[in-house]
Amino acid sequence: MTLSKLALTVTEDDINRGLEAALEKVSEGPQGEGLKKIKNPRVELKKGLVVFKCRASMGIMPVPVEAQVRLEPAQGGAALNVTLEKLSMAMMAGNMIAGQVMAQLATAVAGKPGLSVSGTTLTVEVNALAQMRGIKLGGALRTLEVNNRELVLDFE
């Protein structure tokens, strides 16, 4: 299959339904025990950011977790940059926690085609990942907007 043009609008509800289904499926696998500690995961789309919120069981009380992520086309539309703008867990926030999470992410994606981490940014090479699913991309990601509860992608 070759994909040359695509205009896609995804709502918060679409993302949250997918997130719920994905977490349920992954929790049945070998890393399932850790994922069972995540409660009430939700995504909010606002002011140019994708905001992920949940409560994580750490000890006797659930801890609120919030990550704010900025998405933008990169490499002339051949890639997507996913930048961790802010991360907070309970009363802790700041660069130290974000750095630790990004270091773990860098280790996890090392050697994986189409994925790389630099600083607080995960770069996703869109064509490389599409090819893994048998899709050839004939265009590039031109615009990506996060606004009032919607994520709008224009691929041309």
Q: What is the pLDDT of residues 86-114, one digit of tens each?
A: 998 876 666 677 888 899 999 999 999 99
Q: In terms of pLDDT, which residue wins out, 33 or 10?
A: 10
Classify residue 153 as exposed, middle or buried by CB count within 10 Å of its CB (0-12, 13-18, 19+): middle
Percent above pLDDT 90 for the chain: 51
pLDDT tens across 39-77, in order?
889 999 998 999 999 998 877 788 899 999 999 999 999
- Burial code (b: 16+ CB inside 10 Å, e: under 16) for 101-129 equals ebeebeeebeeeebbebeebbbbbbbbeb
Question: What pLDDT score does 124 carry?
Answer: 95
d(CA 128, CA 135): 9
CA–CA gap between residue 77 and residue 74 (Å, rounded): 5
By CB atoms closer than 10 A (0-12, 13-18, 19+), residue 147 is exposed
Mean pLDDT (the chain) is 88
Rg (CA), the chain: 16
pLDDT at 31: 67
Mean pLDDT of 1-12: 88
